[in-house]
Amino acid sequence: MRQALDTIAPRPADRERQVTTVVDVARRAGVSAATVSRVLAGRNVVAAATRERVLEAVRALQFQPNAFAQGLRSGRGQAVALLVSDIEQTVYSALTKHVQAALEEIGLDLLLFNLGHRQDRLRGLLERATALRLRGIVIASNDVIPMRELKPLVSALQRQGVSILSIGQRLDRYGIPSVVHEETAAAARAAQYLLDTGRAPIAYLSRIRNSATGQERYRGYLAALKGAGIDVDPALVWDCSYRYAAGYEAMSRALDRRLAFRSLLAASDELALGAMAAALDRGLKVPDDVAIIGFGGIAWGEHVRPALTTLGADPKAIGEHVRDMFRNLLDGGDVPRQTVVKRPLLLRQSA
Amino acid sequence: MRQALDTIAPRPADRERQVTTVVDVARRAGVSAATVSRVLAGRNVVAAATRERVLEAVRALQFQPNAFAQGLRSGRGQAVALLVSDIEQTVYSALTKHVQAALEEIGLDLLLFNLGHRQDRLRGLLERATALRLRGIVIASNDVIPMRELKPLVSALQRQGVSILSIGQRLDRYGIPSVVHEETAAAARAAQYLLDTGRAPIAYLSRIRNSATGQERYRGYLAALKGAGIDVDPALVWDCSYRYAAGYEAMSRALDRRLAFRSLLAASDELALGAMAAALDRGLKVPDDVAIIGFGGIAWGEHVRPALTTLGADPKAIGEHVRDMFRNLLDGGDVPRQTVVKRPLLLRQSA
DNA sequence: GCGCAGCCTGCAAACGTTTTCTGATATCGT
DNA sequence: ACGATATCAGAAAACGTTTGCAGGCTGCGC
């Protein structure tokens, strides 16, 4: 019995597992199960006196209706799955926080799945949705999604009444309503700001190939240059990952090659900070020698010296839109194909 | 009809909502529903030929068993709730990532709830657990939990067969198996390191009052000083929040008051970085004038100059322990009251 | 040739709700 | 005072799965 001291066996005997049901409540209140259900559903077809007795019994027995029975009977649960690229990145954790809060407001639970940038996991996860009788699925991913092959599955789910939403990436041409941050316009605005402050030539640093948002931001950069009548210098466009180290390395290499540029637009704050560190390490002054603008508005950028100028995010607004859309969808209403959330240009010290 | 162009109405007519059930599969395979169930449950009491026919039908119809029906029948679902202080903090998002992955390995879904440091939300969330027929609840919070008043509720849940685990905070004296990082010992180790390198006096910066881990870390600091025969100087113990700004402010004030100390042990990386920034702003050299050690191992600390020496975390190990414990619990086995995960002392530049 | 064991499969009940249908009582108008 | 109507509450079916029980069939030993 010594082991009992440092282990815990929380599983009780099976007979103990009794949980109060609607019939227990009914018996105590002297009514039928149907009546209890009606009271709890808030139908006002129940006489006030009866309702009181029922509510009293519910309180006394601490009755909690079995969600599985409800879900089985109604054919639908109260859960929404959130599929996220990488919860560890602050963009996604901030998003998750606000989406969770917003869904909680309308009584929905959040089932979290972390894709870990593995797009092949998507199919399996979407297939689970049917079994789980989900209310909806929210996809939050910047990675390019193989919608071509996923489309039939998505349509089948939608036919089953599962509301599918995309956050951060436009998927509306596949029939998926999307809530996105401003990307192209935001990047263009940032580039324009650099042009206006006489910072041309502007280098561009981003994950472009496999990132949907990366591509959109890149278009904004191109548009701004084109608007100013400037030709894009391919040597100043650096396609890499989104990580800090990649930014550091790209900037180092550019300086080694003595490329001529007076500013940098980076498609993520991590990249921007990495690049900034490299520039500072080589004795350059930021923003005097090279101005830098990032993307995302992470906390770290606010505290670093010089503080990072960046296109911020608004996860709260996104969460609220998601909530409103679900509210609409549950009422059988329509929902906009696309909702765009503004990105504030947070002017700090680096540009 | 113009509106149809930019809105989407994904809800189909109700009659369309048909989803294949076990009877559909049974009919197609020419067997009874019971047999289908047996095949899917992996019971080998079914003849090989029959099993093949059933599996063929399952594939053809893309059958997915209704999780609600299963949950209702078996009295228990496949979901675990993760209650987190603040998913936006990297500590928690890293934890969440690994816990999710670990649970997925054993076929459990993760229901995420963000406490937002509001302990009053705990009760309501725990009450929901009964309705949701959860497999388990994982509490990941540094905040002090009012276990005194929650204990009856927790016991009731455990009696219902809900496995409750705590991450990061020892709750085993309330019958909740806990997986924790080394705190007291880690703080003592860090303080000892500072002593060994001749960095006394050591200032201590933390959220102490309302943080369970804050208290444990503080005990480590005290123990190390006591071990070295040094009296604690109350003026060098600064109790504040865990945020960057608090660290900056605390250090600024200490320098204004010309307090004498040659190093700082901070109970979070954010605090440490804030304090370091304040020191650098006043022209002090880190680590020469003041050495700094943080707690947590966040990414930012690795990139800042000087790079932050810190007690790291091991969320992966924690996730794996949680997985193993659930595996055990689902088999009706015992589980250790307490599991301690080591913190590596990541020696970088700041100390 | 008969009984018996063993293998496989079907029947039906059960999980806990919600909802439709129906019936009982009270209320009202004439 | 009688029938019509409104109001409330119960009985029972249904949601889709799992499982105990029973039964049919095959093969075997006697």
Question: B57-106, pLDDT tens digit by residue?
Answer: 999 999 999 999 999 999 999 999 999 999 999 999 999 999 999 999 99
The letter for the amino acid at B86 is D
* B154, B174 contact by CB (below 8 A): yes
pLDDT band at A6 (very low <50, low <70, confident <90, very high): low
What residue spans in chain A does CATH classification 1.10.260.40 cover? 2-65
Tell whether the model's pLDDT for residue B8 goes beyond 60: no
Classified as helix, coil or strand, B6 is coil
Cα(A230)–Cα(A224) distance, integer angstroms: 9
Judge if the beta carbon of A57 is closer than 7 A to nucleic acid strand D. no
> Which nucleotide is closest to the Cα of A53 by its C1'?
D9
A189-214 mean pLDDT: 94
Classified as helix, coil or strand, B274 is helix
CATH top class, domain B184-311: alpha beta
Tell whether A2 lies on the interface with B, counting CB pairs under 8 A: no
Q: Is A71–B75 a contact, with Cβ atoms under 8 angstroms apart?
A: no
Across the A:B interface, residue pairs with CB atoms under 8 Å apart total 197
Tell whether the model's pLDDT for residue A218 goes beyond 90: yes
**What is the structure's pLDDT at B63?**
95
**What is the structure's pLDDT at A246?**
95
- Peptide bond connecting A201 to the previous residue in cis, omega within 30 degrees of 0: yes
Cα(B17)–Cα(B15) distance, integer angstroms: 5
A103-129 mean pLDDT: 95
Per DSSP bridges, beta strands A7-8 and B335-336 are antiparallel
Tell whether the model's pLDDT for residue A309 goes beyond 60: yes
Q: Is A114–B101 a contact, with Cβ atoms under 8 angstroms apart?
A: yes
**What is the structure's pLDDT at A27?**
95
Give residue-wise pLDDT tens across range A21-39.
999 999 999 999 999 999 9
**What is the structure's pLDDT at A7?**
59
**What is the structure's pLDDT at A93?**
96
**What is the structure's pLDDT at B186?**
97
pLDDT band at B7 (very low <50, low <70, confident <90, very high): low
**What is the structure's pLDDT at A272?**
96
Tell whether the model's pLDDT for residue B304 goes beyond 70: yes
Tell whether the model's pLDDT for residue A12 goes beyond 60: no
pLDDT band at A333 (very low <50, low <70, confident <90, very high): confident
Closest CA to A16 of B155, B72, B69: B155
Orientation angle between helical segments B147-159 and B120-132, nearest 10 degrees: 10
Tell whether A15 lies on the interface with B, counting CB pairs under 8 A: no
Neighbour tally for B8: CB within 10 Å? 21
CATH superfamily of this structure's domain A2-65? lambda repressor-like DNA-binding domains (1.10.260.40)
What residue spans in chain B does CATH classification 3.40.50.2300 cover? 77-180+315-342, 184-311
> Which nucleotide is closest to the Cα of A17 by its C1'?
C15
What count of residues does chain A have? Answer: 351
Lowest mean pLDDT across A7-11, A174-178, A259-263, B17-21: A7-11
Give residue-wise pLDDT tens across range B335-349.
999 999 999 999 999
A332-346 mean pLDDT: 94
**What is the structure's pLDDT at A222?**
97
CATH top class, domain A78-181+315-341: alpha beta
**What is the structure's pLDDT at B171?**
96
Give residue-wise pLDDT tens across range B116-160.
999 999 999 999 999 999 999 999 998 999 999 999 999 999 999
Nucleotides of C under 7 A from a protein CB: 7-12, 14-20
Nucleotide D16's nearest residue (CA vs C1') is B69
A254-268 mean pLDDT: 96
Cα(B321)–Cα(B40) distance, integer angstroms: 29
CATH superfamily of this structure's domain B77-180+315-342? Response regulator (3.40.50.2300)
Closest CA to A270 of A252, A237, A245: A245
